[in-house]
Chain A
Amino acid sequence: MTDDREVPEIRRLGLEPTDLDGHTIEELADYLDAGRTPRDRSIEESPGCQLALDALQRLHGLGSELLDAETAAEPEVDPTWVERVLSGIAMDARAGRRIPFASEEPDTDLGITEGAVRGLIRAAEAAVPGLLIGRCRLTGDVTAAGAPIRIEIDASALHGQSIPAVADRLRDEVDRALRTHTELNVTAIDIAIRDIREVPTWTEEKP
């Protein structure tokens, strides 16, 4: 068996400046990156450059295809892997600002974290079947007792649900939860439905 480098066709596609009418692969790659504008006649009219441009373009498209193919070929993610990752993170990383409660006792300092308030808001989604809360933001000076606070919630609903009805239910539920558990002076609860999920299985499928 001969050395497999000595395949006769190896030089069929020339990529040196002599094959490219004086241009280089670097130049051609830049030309492609620029969307072949401004049009360069010495490149466009050179057969050698055209071959090289085609090859570069093919190569360029294959990078993301390769990643997709290899991502799909990876084994399914193992639950022990997820546990391993989660065991390495700090659970209270996003406690956020501290929200004070008014206290009768001058020496007692009561409060709740912003993260805990977000947790309360997320828990309200359970009252609206199919709804999922995404990011929620508390705008206003939550560190000052009684300051007006606006709540902004991103959410995802199921296809087929009435968006205004779902938003209203969630708003009522969040309002109730915050009144029950906090002293926040909530002036508005804005809900943006950002995503509609096409999941027919929410009510039908058994786990």
Chain B
Amino acid sequence: MEDERFRRALEHADDRIVAGRAADGDVEAFAVLVRRYTPMMRAYTQRMLNSSADVDDIVQESFVTAWQRFGELEDLSKVKSWLMRIVSRKAVDRIRALRPAVDIDSIDRPAPLHTSPSAVVEMRAGVAALGAALRELPDAQRECWVLREIGGYSYEEIAEELDIPVSTARGLLARARKYMIVRMEEWR
């Protein structure tokens, strides 16, 4: 009963308190962060990879890294964006392991159309249309777009993460944006 109340209190505490305990080695507090941020980290990883394969492994590895490196987190209230950065890096590592260099040929390859006309009817909501358009993007464009618009990376950071010139990252993003705008316009 006492334990249960304590657990609930910890679940309700803000990030700074929970992350502070976790940084000090409290496993229960770390478990709260795992429960709190697994859904976000899974959702992000699936968008980065455009697949659900490997998502569990990547999210688990990210938490292991977070636990090991908690000492480096200066501002405890930023634990959420810190975890996002870690999972983003792990996802990029996975992408690079599977595809050592950005496939420049894929940059201009027309994206496969996954969306059937009947599904289009359902896509009144902007978010659903965005999700569908994102799924159709070639890999490198999608990765740039997710890093930029969901991960909040700068162009320079994207270039560094994906090991491509900044100009390439900018070009890929421009293509991704154009494609998505046109595609979403069609569905409006």
Contacts and interface: CB of A to CB of B under 8 A. Distances in A.
Size class of the contact patch on chain A: 35 or more
Interface string A21-65: 000111001000000000000000000000010011011101111
Interface stretch (A90-98, A99-107, A172-180, A182-190): A90-98
A120 B79 CA distance: 25
Given A10-B186, A29-B177, A91-B27, A5 B113 contact: yes
B174 A86 contact: no
B156 interface: no
Contacts of A194: 14, 16-17
B35 A25 contact: no
Interface stretch (B59-67, B92-100, B101-109, B157-165): B59-67
B46 interface: yes
B142 to A, nearest CB: 12
Contact of A136 (B12, B24, B184): B24
Contacts of B146: 63
Given A26-B170, A63-B150, A194-B17, A84 B60 contact: yes
B137 interface: no
B47 interface: yes
Given A86-B34, A132-B17, A118 B24 contact: yes
A197 B9 contact: yes
A148 interface: no
Interface in B43-69: 43-44, 46-47, 56, 60, 63-64, 67-68
A129 to B, nearest CB: 9
Size class of the contact patch on chain B: 35 or more
Contacts of B131: 66, 70
A195 B15 CA distance: 10
A66 B17 contact: no
B42 interface: yes
Interface of A: 1, 4-5, 7, 9-10, 12-13, 15, 24-26, 29, 52, 55-56, 58-60, 62-67, 69-75, 77, 81-82, 84-86, 88-96, 115, 118-119, 122, 126, 130, 132-136, 154-156, 194-195, 197, 199, 201-202, 205, 207
13 contacts: A4-B116, A4-B117, A29-B173, A59-B149, A59-B184, A62-B130, A67-B44, A74-B38, A77-B34, A94-B25, A134-B20, A154-B16, A199-B12
Given A94-B70, A132-B13, A134-B76, 18 more contacts: A25-B174, A26-B173, A55-B181, A59-B180, A62-B130, A65-B126, A71-B39, A74-B42, A85-B63, A86-B30, A94-B24, A119-B25, A134-B13, A135-B19, A195-B16, A197-B9, A199-B8, A207-B8
Interface of B: 1-2, 4-6, 8-10, 12-14, 16-21, 23-27, 30-31, 34-35, 38-40, 42-44, 46-47, 56, 60, 63-64, 67-68, 70-71, 76, 113, 115-117, 120, 126-127, 130-131, 134, 145-146, 148-150, 170-171, 173-174, 177-178, 180-182, 184-186
